[in-house]
Structure formats: C-alpha cells, structure tokens
Homo-oligomer: A and B are copies of this chain.
Amino acid sequence: MRKKQPTQADVAKLAGVSQSTVSIILNPQGKDHLLISEETREKVQAAIQELGYVINPAARTLAGGQNRLMGVFINGSAFPLDQHGFYHPYLVGIEEACIRHDYDMLLFTRSDGGEGVRRIYRNGLNHLRIADGSILLGLENKEELARLMKEEYPFVFIGKREVPDGDISYVAADYFRGTQTILSRMMALGHRQTGFFYRLYNDATKDRERGYHAALAENYHSSVTHMKRQLTVQEITPAFCRDVLDAGVTAILMEEPAMAHAFAEGARQIGRTCPDDFSIAALSDNDLAYLPTQVAQELVMINIPKLAMGAAAVHMLNQLIVDRNKAHDAIQMTIPVTISGGSTIGTVRVEEELQG
C-alpha cells in the first residue's frame, strides 16, 4: 500500500505553527514572505526535513500557483528514429531555454486520434491546460488555434500562422527577406527569367512569395517572365527540367533543398549544368541530412534559425505566462535568416542571353 505523503498540515503540526505559515515560507514570492521570523522559518525547515515533505504540484496549481511546466505540442514525433527530425533543432533551443527559465518540458505525445493528425482537443478536453502555457509546432488546424485563443490559453506558435479571429503569438523565420536577398543576388548577376516552386502553399510560402515579388520589383523595371507553381519532388523529372529551361528560365528558387537537388539532377541528365546553364537556390534547409554532403555545402539556401526560434518561443511564452492577467497583444517575432552555400549561383552565360 502506498504511503500517504506528508502535507503542509503535518509539517505545521510538527513545527507548532499554522499551515498557512508553512505555505508562506514555501512561497518566497508571496507578499507575506518577509514577515516570517527567522526562528519560525528554522522550525518549519526542520520539520520539512524530518518528514521528508514535498509539495504537491497539483494542489499548488489548483490553488492558483504555477507548475512551471512548459507544454510542447508537436504534430509529429519528438524523437524520430532517424534522428534527423525536422523539429529536432527547435527542441534543442526550447530545452536549453526551458532550463534557463526554470521550466520543465511537457511533451504532448498522446494527441493522435488515429487520424494521423494530432489534436489538442479530444472529448472536448484541452490537454494543454496542465501546462502553464504551450509551444506549438507544425499544427495546421486553425480551428484549434482559434479555440485556444478564445480560451485565452497562453501559447506561442513556431512558424507563422494567420488566423481569422485575431492575432496569435508566433515566432517565424524571415523568409521574406531571405528570398528577396537570394533573388536579388541572382538578378544582380544578370538573371531575368525566374521560377518559383513550392511544395505547399502555406503562410511561410506566402512570405517567400512576397520576397520573390519584392526582388523582382526592385531589380527590374521592364517586364520579366516568371514561372510559379506547386510541385512535388516526384514531378521534377528531366522532362520537367527541360520545359523550364527551354522556356528561358535561368534563376530557379525551390522551397526545399531536395527539390533543388532533384532539379539539378534532372537537368544534368539532359546535359544542362549548374551554375553554367542556370542558377538555383533553396528557400529552406529542411531535410538536409538526406542529401549528399557536397550538395548540402554548395547549394545556396536559406538557413532557418531553428535553435534561436525555439529559444525565442520560450522567452515569449514566459512573458505571456507572467503577464497572463494583463490585457495583452499577441507577440509576433520574426527572426533573421542566414544564407549558406554559393556555388549554385553564377552569372548568366552570354549565349543564354543571346538566345533569350
């Protein structure tokens, strides 16, 4: 039979004080804390030692205290077998910042209703509520976000999400400026015919798209041919590459490195090489571990500052938790990206220009 834990009342009885005195001593941030005499404090500490008292976090939360629990809701595995998980770098940043801010991490694992999508609400219950606040990664369900907002549950989204019913707090990568920088660099080297290819059309894609158009607008004032479409990696065949290149496109922006790699491979098979015949760049560094090391090093791409984003999310969420009783605007933070690689962008060949 499991023994009953000692409670504050037990401690109080042993120390010869009231239970609230014990509570006040245990809560240094409370306003009465300084009023307790050193003598009382020592008696209580001694009783705590003697009984092996430990606080009951559930009772503390219920009574209005905090658990210092930071929830992490991932729409996927936090510990994928291959260790190259998309989310891993965010989690590194989150864990590190949680340690600094003195939070434990609560990983919600059991929200998969068998539909392949993890849901926050099941049976009408918000699982997140046991944590003081939560960081959300990869959640696509905007309804659930809207409901969390309505409940005024403190949360921070990693990645950008625009929801209908008002602003949510998020930390995002600056895809706008990253994309703009890369395309401007290409256009400075003479490229005029551009292509923009994405895997999914989501809020991040919209930012990249805006950056793409901003670069077009500021770098070229006469008309420019450009292609823009949604693609899967499987669709990037040699035939597709020929179509794109024969249309005169020489500056290619792909959402994912794997798509850029597939294009370079497809083009090679029809005798076109990079950067001689075309320049190419990726607008993220996702799943880089699955590409050859050389590609990972040479391909021009946007590096998503995942560690910094994870850490920033913890900072922001801590702020929301601390201020949870004040009226509060959403905090939205955009973190600068860096651009790596270099050898997949070059000047436009003279022949190309003559042809074009």
A residues bordering B, Cβ < 8 Å? Answer: 1-3, 5, 45, 48-49, 52-59, 61-62, 67-69, 77-81, 83-84, 88, 91-92, 94-95, 98-99, 102-110, 112, 121, 124-127, 129-130, 147, 150-152, 307, 324-327
Query: Contacts of A61 on B, CB cut-off 8 Å?
Result: 58
B residues in contact with A152, CB < 8 Å: 2-3
Number of copies: 2
Q: Which residues of B contact A104 (CB under 8 A)?
A: 106-110, 127
Judging by beta carbons under 8 Å apart, are B69 and A106 in contact? Answer: yes
Contacts of A69 in B (CB 8 A): 106, 130
Known pairs A57-B129, A79-B91; A105 contacts B106 (CB<8 A): yes
Q: A110-B103, A152-B2 are in contact. Are A78 and B58 (CB under 8 A)?
A: no
Min CB distance A46 to B, Å, is 11
Q: Looking at the complex, which one of B3, B54, B79, B84 makes contact with A126 (CB distance below 8 Å)?
A: B54
- Cα–Cα distance between A67 and B79 once the two chains are bound (Å): 22
Contact A129 B325 (CB under 8 A): no
In the bound complex, CA of A103 to CA of B108 (Å) = 8
Which residue of chain B has the shortest Cβ distance to A128 in the bound complex? B54
What residues of B have a CB within 8 angstroms of the CB of A78 in the complex? Answer: 91, 95, 105
| Contact for A52 among B49, B150, B307, CB less than 8 A | B150
B130 contacts A54, C-beta separation under 8 Å:
no
Residues of B within 8 A of A49 (CB): 124
A130 contact set on B, CB distance < 8 A: 57-58, 67, 69
Find out whether the CB atom of A151 lies under 8 angstroms from the CB atom of B92: no
A325–B1 contact, CB under 8 A? Answer: yes
Taking CB atoms, residues of chain B closer than 8 Å to A151 are 3, 5, 52, 54
Which 5 residue pairs are nearest across A and B when measured between Cβ atoms?
Answer: A58-B61, A54-B126, A57-B130, A105-B107, A79-B91
Residues of B close to A326: CB separation below 8 A: 1
- Would A95 and B121 count as touching, CB distance under 8 A? no
CA distance A80 to B130 in the complex (A): 26
Chain B nearest CB from A45 CB (Å) reads 8
Q: Which residues of B contact A67 (CB under 8 A)?
A: 58, 130
Contact of A54 among B53, B84, B103, B124 (CB under 8 A): B124
- Min CB distance A147 to B, Å, is 7
CB-nearest residue of chain B relative to A90?
B79
Please name all residues of chain B whose beta carbon is closer than 8 Å to the beta carbon of A110 when the two chains form the complex.
Answer: 68, 98-99, 102-104
Partner of A1, one of B2, B92, B105, B327: B327
Closest to A326 in B: B1
- Report chain B residues within 8 Å CB of A327: 1
Q: Please give the distance in Å from A200's CB to the nearest CB on chain B.
A: 25
Q: Which residues of B are found within 8 Å of A88, using beta-carbon distances?
A: 79, 83
Cβ contacts A to B, 13 pairs, < 8 Å: A2-B325, A45-B124, A54-B121, A54-B125, A69-B106, A78-B91, A81-B307, A83-B83, A83-B84, A83-B88, A95-B107, A95-B109, A104-B107
Interface hub of A58, A80, A152 (most chain B Cβ within 10 A): A58
Within 8 Å by CB of A107, from B3, B59, B107, lies: B107
